[in-house]
Amino acid sequence: MLHRQTVDTTVLPPGERFGMWLDLVARTSAPMRISSAHDDDFAAHAAFIELGPIHLVKYHYPSLEATRTPKLIRQSDPEVYMLALTTDGVGTSSQDGRHSEIRAGEFTFYNVSRPHDVGHHATDPERERATSVITMIPHAALPLPPHRMAALFGGKMSGREGIGALLAQFLLQVTGHPEQYHAADAGRLGAVGLDLATTMLGRHLVAEDEVPTEVRRRALVTQVQAYVHRHVGDPALSPRVVADAHHISLRSLHRLFEAQETTVASYIRDVRLARCRRDLTDPALRTQPVQVIAARWGFPDKAHFSRVFRAAYGASPQAYRESTSDPARIVNRPASTVNPPPAD
C-alpha cells in the first residue's frame, strides 16, 4: 500500500484545531496567512501521499482565505508549484494580476515562491466543507521553461476533458484508493502524474512543442491505455479505432507501443481477458453463463474466446472457473497481466 500520512484536527478540542491547521500548512507546504469564519472550531482533514518527484495532498476543510506575502516567502521558500484541483466547493486564485474562480472539476496553478491569494468556500450550507486535491511539483522537476510558466499563474484549466480529465481521474484514483497500489509503485505513479501535469500545462501554454518528446509519448500511452479500458467491452474496438480516436495514424500508434513490449491488439486482448478472468472468479457472478461474461468484454465468438483464454491461462474458461472454487484444482499457469492505467 502507498504510504499515506493523515492529519485530523478533530483529535483536538475545538479551540486548538485552527492552530493545528496553521502549523500543518507551514510544515507541509509553505507558511500562509489564513483566515476562516470557522477558526473557533476548524474541523479539517488532510491526507498526504509521496509519489517520487511529486507530492499529493487531499484536503477537506471549512471555508477559508489564505495569502502568501513577500515576508512569508522570505521566511520559507520550498520552491514548488501548486496544481490544485477543486473537487467540491468554489475556489479562488490570484497571482501576478490574474484572478480566477475555480469550480469543481477545474484546476488552478500557482508558484509558491511568489505572492498569491487563494480561497475555498463550501457551496453546501449543510456540510460547510470544501475539498481539493493538491499536486506539489518542485520547480526543478517540471520540464517546462520557467520563464514561460508565469502565463499560467492564477488561471484555471479544465479537468473534465482531454489530458486535464485524465490527470483529474488519476489524482482522484490515487488519493481515493491508495490501498490499491504497492509502495514500490510510488515512483512510477509519480512519473505518470508528472507527465500528465506537464502535458496539460504545456498545452495551456500553447507551446506543446516545448514539452519534452518523451514526456508527450508517455502521456499519450497513458491516454491510449485509459481509452482501451473505457471501451474494452465494445467488440469493434481495434487498433484502427484507437488510432482514430486519438487523431494519430495507425503506424504512429504501433510505434508508440513498441516501447511497451506489446502490440496494441495484444494489449486490447489482454485487458479483455483480465476482465473476463476477474468475472469468472467472482462468486457473485457464479450463475452467469461463461459466454455472457465473454460477450460483456468484447468476445462475441464463443470458440475464439475459449481458444485465447486457454492460451493465456492454461485451461478452458469453464474449467478455470471451477478451479477457483476448489483450491486443490487451481490452475498454476501464470496469468496474462495487464497493468491498468492509474486514472481508469
pLDDT in tens, 71-129: 999 888 999 999 999 999 999 999 988 899 999 999 999 999 999 999 999 887 666 78
Could you report the per-residue pLDDT of 14-68, keeping only the tens digit for each? 999 999 999 998 888 888 999 999 999 999 999 999 999 899 999 999 999 999 9
Question: What residues are paired with 102 via a beta bridge?
Answer: 91
Q: Which cell goes with 100? A: 480566477
More confident of the two residues 26 and 317: 317
Domains and CATH numbers, the chain: 4-211 (2.60.120.10), 229-329 (1.10.10.60)
Cβ–Cβ < 8 Å for 219, 246: no
Measured CA to CA, the distance from residue 152 to residue 117 in angstroms comes to 15
Could you report the per-residue pLDDT of 218-239, keeping only the tens digit for each? 778 888 888 898 889 999 999 9
Cβ–Cβ < 8 Å for 82, 58: no
Task: Please state, as a whole number, how many other Cβ atoms lie within 10 Å of the Cβ of residue 97.
Answer: 8
Asked if the model's pLDDT at residue 332 lies above 70, the reply is: no
User: Where residue 157 falls among pLDDT bands split at 50, 70, 90?
Assistant: very high
Could you report the per-residue pLDDT of 92-103, keeping only the tens digit for each? 999 988 899 999
Which of 126, 104, 108 lies closest to 116, judged by CA?
A: 108
Cell 469493434 appears where? 236
Cell 481515493 appears where? 176
Q: What are the CA-CA distances from residue 161 to residues 91, 118, 169 (Å)?
A: 19, 24, 10
Cβ–Cβ < 8 Å for 3, 43: no
